[in-house]
Every structure is written in C-alpha cells, then in structure tokens.
C-alpha cells in the first residue's frame, strides 16, 4: 500500500512539473512594438497606416510621420494596411532578449487598373434621346458669313439713318452744355486741335463726307 502511495505521489509531482514548465515555455511576454511605415518607392513616411494584431481588436495607427508604438506580445501577427498600398504582415519574434522591438515596415503601392467609364450629363436614356433630337447643330461657314453680312448691312443702314427727335434733343442739350461750360471765356479753336484733325482725316478717308444719294 505504501509503495502504491509513493508511486501515485511521484506521478502527480512529475505531471505538475511538466505542466508548469510547459506553461512557462509557452507564456508570451509583452513587447513594446515600435517603428515607422515608409513607401518603397522613395522611402517617404506613410501617415495614418492601420496597424492591428491579426484576429484581435487591438493595435494603433501611425502618425503624420509614419511612426507608431503600442504594446504587443511575442508571436503576434501584425497587419499593416494603408489606402493605395498592399497589405503587409509581420510576426514578432518569440525569442527576444528584450521587452521591446523596432521595425521599419516598407509598403508597396497597390495599382489597380479600372475599366474606362464615360459619364454623361443625362441621368436616363430617355433624356439623352430627347437632348439628341433637340440638339442644335453649330453654324457652318456659310451661315456665319450670312450673319456677318447682315451685321455689316445693319451698320451701313445705321450710318445712313437721320437722327430722330430724341437724338436731336440730346444733341441740342449737349451744345447748350458746352456753351454754359465756356461761358465768359474764349472757346478753344478746333483748327489748332490735333485730335480734331485726326478725327477729320479718318472720317474723310472713310468717305463719311460723300454726298448720300
């Protein structure tokens, strides 16, 4: 009986020591995980990168300069995600001699080729059909020439039309205003005015003094 008790005691002690040593070997220590996230093209920092422990709602984001720091554990799988870059992963080593670890994580640009998309100003096909039917075709060279000739004819007719009552009244009032402006003094002589002579020569060259039929 005593022999059986000794054997049982030794078995329990060995099982306890084995379980304790196994637990110590598999115990994951906390690590201060720090580093910086950069681009692979020009080594510039990537701000606001999401840094999370896989399968856990724990992590952080990098600051404006790409720097990050948070507490993780040995053996954790860290996922780095940023808009426009491929997802990257890193496993924290489980054989660290210190309680901190630093990393420079390089991210690769993720280029996605999209199919060509044409955006029209019409929200529906029916509105497109209506706009197409009511489309005003731009004038060709002949139509533009006709419009220019019409404008030239209108200008010529305007020069040949005599003044109406309102224009005569306005001309009279302008003359009266000029007389009041120079009242009590000698009016300038336009024969000595170079600007008046330039206007006269221009009008003479344009044929404005020709007798109108």
Give the model confidence (pLDDT) of 126-171 as tens digits: 888 888 888 877 777 777 777 777 877 777 766 667 777 788 888 8
For the full predicted model, state whether its pTM sits above 0.75: no
Q: What is the pLDDT of residue 14?
A: 59
Q: What is the pLDDT of residue 48?
A: 95
Residue 22 pLDDT greater than 90, yes or no: no
Residues 6+ away with beta carbon under 8 Å from 54 = 76, 77, 78, 79, 89
The 10s digit of each residue's pLDDT in 171-208 is 888 888 877 877 777 777 777 778 888 888 888 888 77
- CA gap 54, 46 in Å, rounded: 20
Q: What is the CATH number of domain 29-107?
A: 2.60.40.1120
At residue 19 the predicted structure's pLDDT band, cuts being 50, 70 and 90, is very low
- CA gap 79, 31 in Å, rounded: 16
The 10s digit of each residue's pLDDT in 68-116 is 999 999 999 999 999 999 999 999 998 888 999 999 999 999 888 888 8
Domain ranges in the chain are 29-107, 114-182
Q: What is the pLDDT of residue 70?
A: 95
Residue 16 pLDDT greater than 60, yes or no: no
Residue 24 pLDDT greater than 50, yes or no: no
Residue 29 pLDDT greater than 60, yes or no: yes
Tokens, residue 182: 């120079």
- CA gap 43, 184 in Å, rounded: 86
């Amino acid at each position: 009986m005593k022999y059986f008790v000794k054997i049982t005691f030794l078995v329990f002690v060995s099982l306890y020591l084995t379980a304790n040593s196994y637990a110590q070997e598999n115990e994951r220590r906390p690590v201060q995980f720090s580093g910086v996230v950069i681009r692979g093209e020009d080594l510039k920092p990537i701000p606001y990168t999401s840094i999370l422990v896989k399968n856990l709602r724990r992590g952080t984001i990098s600051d404006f300069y790409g720097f990050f720091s948070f507490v993780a554990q040995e053996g954790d799988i860290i996922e780095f995600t940023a808009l426009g870059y491929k997802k990257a992963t890193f496993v924290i080593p489980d054989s660290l001699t210190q309680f901190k670890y630093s990393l420079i994580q390089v991210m690769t640009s993720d280029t996605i080729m999209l199919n060509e998309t044409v955006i029209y100003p019409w929200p529906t096909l029916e509105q497109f059909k209506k706009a197409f039917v009511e489309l005003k075709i731009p004038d060709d060279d002949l139509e533009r020439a006709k419009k220019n000739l019409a404008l030239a004819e209108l200008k010529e007719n305007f020069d040949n039309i005599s003044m109406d009552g309102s224009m005569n009244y306005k001309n009279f009032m302008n003359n009266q205003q000029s007389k009041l402006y120079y009242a009590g003094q000698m009016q300038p002589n336009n024969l000595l005015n170079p600007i008046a002579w330039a206007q006269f020569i221009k009008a003479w060259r344009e044929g404005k003094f020709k007798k109108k039929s």
